Structure 1
Amino acid sequence: IESFGRITKEICRFPSFFNGPLYQRILDLWNADHHTHAPILCVSFAMLEWFWMTQMEPYDEIDRFFNLIKAPDRDYIIRDDFLPFTKALLADHPGLEFLSSHQEFQEKYAITVITRIFYVVNRSHSGRITSRQIRRSDLLEAFQQVDEEEDINKVTRYFSYEHFYVLYCRFWELDHDRDYRITREDLLKYGDHSLSHMIVDRIFEAAPRPFENDKVNREFISYEDFIYFMLSEEDKSNEISVRYWFTCVDVDGDSKLNNMEMRSFYAVQLHRMQCMGHEVVPFEDMLCQMMDMIKPANTDHVVAEDFLQPECKNVSGALFDALFNLNKYLMFEQRDPFAERQKREDEFECDWDRFACMDYNRLAMEEEVRE
């Protein structure tokens, strides 16, 4: 199997760590197709030629990637399909070698990578990734990048260890009883109690969940659910997070956010401002400011598409923060124009990358103090 590496990389043009799963897939398909008395355990040239003619030559690189990851009898990818590939990555990548003796962290890293993939690629939240979704995503490019890049943290899409560490530690801080699920009371503590109880209730009741089934207990949030929440909370400038939060605040489910819904969320914020001694911003003033920034097509209500206009990218999160995240809303109200310009000119591609870098440094400093 070691000598098969050049075939994986140079002929099939898969990432090098696909070597083991590719080798096993050829054996599985050959044995299933040829009904041999005893299963073949070693790939021959004839088997490779057969695999190339049937599984590779008729397809472009995206469909080859899709077909290798999914099970042969399905036309979509489920989360467990990625496990052999994340396991191979953990075994092969020099940037993850230090995890070799930490089984639990290896498992949680794999879960995090797979959940982040579904968050970005599977926008229908069906738990099934289609060929079309792969084609519209950057997933193949990210797999190729992580294969070539020795510093895993430079691969900020999906694979960064630092990003995993931030997500896992934030979850761990809230999961006091260590049962890998958190309650409403736990989530209220997120971000120094920045979220209103009203939005926390809506997260539990309505927020998209990555691998939900009919029997899910919505009294709790799993680690995978938390990843969806946190990626959406710390970067509200992309379509995925906009739709996540719009689903939460659209209480009547009519795909329109009207003044009555906004007023009910903001009433909780007003009460919190008063209790904490902050200067109160009346609802009408807040709404006027937000509508001036978002410029919705209809003045009676806001739809998700209003947030997704190119000119709204950097301010789309402000309305959501005004409705349910008091700390971030107050920071927005008191923002420094110079700091905002610096943020636009820094090296980070998105708000999530910026947040993850800062939070990882915070966690690292806290770890140093403890030692």
Structure 2
Amino acid sequence: MMAPSKSLQPVLQKKVDELFLHWLSEPGTQRLLQACLQRLLDQTGGPGGDAPAPQPPWGPPQSGQPRGAARLQPCQPSPQPPLSPLQPPRLPQAPQASGSPRWLRPSKSLQPPKSLLQPPRSPQSLLPSTSLQPERSPQAPKRSLRASYPDCQRTIPRPRSGPAAATVQLESSTRRGVPQSRGVQRRREEPPPAAAAATSQDIPAFYFPRGRPQDTVNTDAVIARVERTFAEFPQERATMDDMGRVAKACGCPLYWKGPLFYGAGGDRTGSVSVHKFIAMWRKVLRSCHDDAAKFVHLLMNPGCDYLVPEDFVPFLQDVVNSHPGLSFLKEASEFHSRYITTVIQRIFYTVNRSWSGRITCAELRRSSFLQNVALLEQESDINQLTDFFSYEHFYVIYCKFWELDTDHDLFIDAQDLARHNDHAISTRMIERIFSGAVTRGKKVQKEGKISYADFVWFLISEEDKKTPTSIEYWFRCMDLDGDGVLSMFELEHFYEEQCRRLDSMAIEALPFEDCLCQMLDLVKPQAEGKITLRDLKRCKLAGLFFDTFFNIEKYLDHEQKEQASLLRDSDSDGPELSDWEKYAAEEYDILVAEEAATDPWDDGYDAELTPVDQKLSPLRPALAQRPFFESPCPLSDVDLYQYNSEEEDEDEDEEDEDDEDLPPS
């Protein structure tokens, strides 16, 4: 018994569709399909028509054939009734004494004579006979009708009465293994109908995995500019510092200099020769026709057509070393890798929509990553690029992780993660996060720990539940059986813990039935009793749905707000800050203020450390009203002549060591 067929995973289905589109766009495949279509049209007699009835070998000649090609049509003896045109003539034979006539007896050999297998030498051989019987010598052996007409099968009913009872009914059938005569099977080729001619046109290519070719690109002019640029360098060799001018000569943004340098093999020798670079760039221009394909080709490993996280490290290391907004980070080289890890995870969080861990040209083309790379040249303040490269966002994420990672081994377990935001997330959801539903790597399954890279995905998804990736993140966690549907059992599984936590806080919780009615009215699923990922993405209040089932703090915040105000906030147009940008800006100001308050020599003014982002200016009044902003103690209360004891000195040394482990703000 065969196993039931399983539907392909989304990633495999995408690959199958991509292969089919590539196969269908090949010219050889198109010609094959056209030939099959023409063969079907010939068999059916054109679109919407029936196949023409086969002409018998003894019928009249078809129109358009020469007169000499007419088929044999013997006549019947006068005593017998005339046969229909579809019946062959009976050979006149004398009835035998024993039983049935001889011409009705089966023949010993079903093979036709050689004369029927060979084409006629002249048209006169196909002319009809002038006598009533076929001419043959008296000494020639008599041939049966089955041997003469191998394509005919006889059905002879028993004679009843009357002359019509002797009529022989014949059926035309095709016998396998019996060679056919060319004269019998000859058929006039009909011209193709108009519809078939229209479908026989060449289908233009419509699938371009490496970009649509452009006729406006002058490769020779680009190569000439590159040669002139290399001529200005010593020995026509370019180092990493010179690659900015080479990138401009190639027509690329400035910060493509790192991928161009490493793509030409500069990491092995420290410099790139003009001949090697031109050979590499000519190959790129010949095979890649847009920026996404070129960027992937420069960074990918040989034999691959996608990018993995490790492929972005050389590119981002060059950004850290050369961007003016990150010049202060040069002195803290130990934080280079952590900043690069944060940016890489944010890139995959936004660009890699298939959750495969591999960024393809199509995904990169649909994202805004390359536009942000081009803005690196124009924007000197790295914090303005909030989508991927903001250092303030990295500072917030890393400080939050550092607070949870008590042993500072860059891994946290379930107990550490449960302390996030004062135990706001339920225990059952923490267990689902560590179950491997949204994390990669074997360390989660073996040791029950997640890395800093996994924490980046968790924090962004927790603070902004409106993005497609965050909705997919929490949907995967709530889908216990992995069937792609949130059932009522799964919703009740998470809501039970929420009710217990509300009861411990002396807050009356809604019964599950009432809460379920509210959530179904909120989401409006297409299928009754089932909530799919499509339903949640279509709903504008997916964050309220998720917080109701596993985040107690945000659930209470939503209860204090009216649903109309939530909808008004979600429908607002214009370049408004996302929930993640609001959270990062607020937390960064808090961290900077706490650092300023702990510094005894700080005068309370941190204008240089405060971000000057114009988009964050509306948040300043709200942050100034927070109660935890405490002004530092006045200098009059400080006794400058009081010395600390040895124990206090040791405590201060330990605090200084802890502060050195944090990145510069």
TM-score by length of 2: 0.51
Q: 1:45 to 1:206 in 2, by over 3 A?
A: closer
State how far apart, in whole Å, the 2-side matches of 1:280 and 1:4 are: 63
Between 39-48 and 109-118, the greater mean CA deviation after superposition: 39-48
State how far apart, in whole Å, the 1-side matches of 2:414 and 2:426 are: 11
Cα displacement (A) at 1:58: 3.4
- Larger CA Rg, structure 1 vs 2: 2
Q: 1:294 to 1:57 in 2, by over 3 A?
A: same
1:307 aligns with 2:536: yes
Cα displacement (A) at 1:89: 0.4
Name 1:233's counterpart in structure 2: 462
1:162 aligns with 2:392: yes
* Correspondent of 2:299 among 69, 73, 84: 69
Residue 125 of structure 1 contacts residue 208 of structure 1 at CA under 8 Å; is this kept in 2?
A: no
Cα displacement (A) at 1:46: 3.3
Name 2:559's counterpart in structure 1: 333
State how far apart, in whole Å, the 2-side matches of 1:228 and 1:345 are: 27
State how far apart, in whole Å, the 1-side matches of 2:569 and 2:309 are: 39
Q: 1:27 to 1:278 in 2, by over 3 A?
A: same
Name 1:9's counterpart in structure 2: 248
State how far apart, in whole Å, the 2-side matches of 1:42 and 1:87 are: 17
Please give the secondary structure, in 2, of the residue aligned with 1:159. coil
Residues 85-128 of structure 1: CA distance to partner in whole angstroms, max 9, x if unpaired?
11100001111111111122221100000111111222333222
Between 360-369 and 118-127, the greater mean CA deviation after superposition: 118-127
1:336-355 paired onto structure 2 within 5 Å: 341=568, 344=572, 348-355=576-583
Q: 1:330 to 1:6 in 2, by over 3 A?
A: same
Cα displacement (A) at 1:50: 2.0
State how far apart, in whole Å, the 1-side matches of 2:551 and 2:360 are: 35
- Aligned amino acid, residue 13 of structure 1: C
Name 2:550's counterpart in structure 1: 324
1:174 aligns with 2:404: yes
1:362 aligns with 2:584: no
- Aligned amino acid, residue 25 of structure 1: G
Please give the secondary structure, in 1, of the residue aligned with 2:422. helix
State how far apart, in whole Å, the 1-side matches of 2:262 and 2:565 are: 56
State how far apart, in whole Å, the 2-side matches of 1:202 and 1:215 are: 11
Residue 348 of structure 1 contacts residue 354 of structure 1 at CA under 8 Å; is this kept in 2?
A: no
1:39-118 paired onto structure 2 within 5 Å: 42-59=271-288, 60-118=290-348
1:119 aligns with 2:349: yes
Residue 525 of structure 2 contacts residue 531 of structure 2 at CA under 8 Å; is this kept in 1?
A: yes
Consecutive aligned runs of 4 or more in structure 1 exceeding 6 Å deviation: none
Cα displacement (A) at 1:159: 0.7
1:284-295 paired onto structure 2 within 5 Å: 284-295=513-524
Cα displacement (A) at 1:133: 1.8
State how far apart, in whole Å, the 1-side matches of 2:246 and 2:596 are: 45
Residue 93 of structure 1 contacts residue 150 of structure 1 at CA under 8 Å; is this kept in 2?
A: yes
Residue 17 of structure 1 contacts residue 92 of structure 1 at CA under 8 Å; is this kept in 2?
A: no
Name 1:19's counterpart in structure 2: 257
State how far apart, in whole Å, the 2-side matches of 1:126 and 1:298 are: 28
Residue 205 of structure 1 contacts residue 218 of structure 1 at CA under 8 Å; is this kept in 2?
A: no
State how far apart, in whole Å, the 2-side matches of 1:47 and 1:245 are: 48
Residue 498 of structure 2 contacts residue 549 of structure 2 at CA under 8 Å; is this kept in 1?
A: yes
Q: Which has the higher contact order (CA 8 A, sep 6+)?
A: 1
Name 1:36's counterpart in structure 2: none
Name 1:153's counterpart in structure 2: 383
Cα displacement (A) at 1:216: 5.2
Structure 2: which 5+ residue stretches go unaligned? 1-238, 600-665
Q: 1:346 to 1:174 in 2, by over 3 A?
A: farther
Between 48-57 and 315-324, the greater mean CA deviation after superposition: 48-57
State how far apart, in whole Å, the 2-side matches of 1:216 and 1:9 are: 47
Cα displacement (A) at 1:305: 0.6
Residue 428 of structure 2 contacts residue 494 of structure 2 at CA under 8 Å; is this kept in 1?
A: yes
Cα displacement (A) at 1:4: 3.4
State how far apart, in whole Å, the 1-side matches of 2:298 and 2:259 are: 8
Cα displacement (A) at 1:80: 1.2
Residues 123-166 of structure 1: CA distance to partner in whole angstroms, max 9, x if unpaired?
33322222222122222112112232111111011111111111
Please give the secondary structure, in 2, of the residue aligned with 1:205. coil
State how far apart, in whole Å, the 1-side matches of 2:554 and 2:305 are: 42
- Aligned amino acid, residue 79 of structure 1: P
Residue 290 of structure 1 contacts residue 318 of structure 1 at CA under 8 Å; is this kept in 2?
A: no
Q: 1:341 to 1:370 in 2, by over 3 A?
A: farther
Residue 436 of structure 2 contacts residue 444 of structure 2 at CA under 8 Å; is this kept in 1?
A: no
Please give the secondary structure, in 2, of the residue aligned with 1:281. coil
State how far apart, in whole Å, the 1-side matches of 2:298 and 2:265 are: 13
State how far apart, in whole Å, the 1-side matches of 2:447 and 2:349 are: 19
Cα displacement (A) at 1:41: 6.2
Please give the secondary structure, in 2, of the residue aligned with 1:221. strand
Q: 1:339 to 1:198 in 2, by over 3 A?
A: closer
Residue 426 of structure 2 contacts residue 551 of structure 2 at CA under 8 Å; is this kept in 1?
A: yes
Total equivalences in the alignment: 357
Please give the secondary structure, in 1, of the residue aligned with 2:500. helix
RMSD: 2.3
State how far apart, in whole Å, the 2-side matches of 1:28 and 1:54 are: 17
More helix by share: 1
Sequence identity, in percent? Answer: 39
* Correspondent of 1:140 among 356, 362, 370: 370
Name 1:186's counterpart in structure 2: 416
Please give the secondary structure, in 2, of the residue aligned with 1:279. coil
Between 315-324 and 51-60, the greater mean CA deviation after superposition: 51-60
Name 2:480's counterpart in structure 1: 251
Cα displacement (A) at 1:215: 8.3
Q: 1:114 to 1:259 in 2, by over 3 A?
A: same
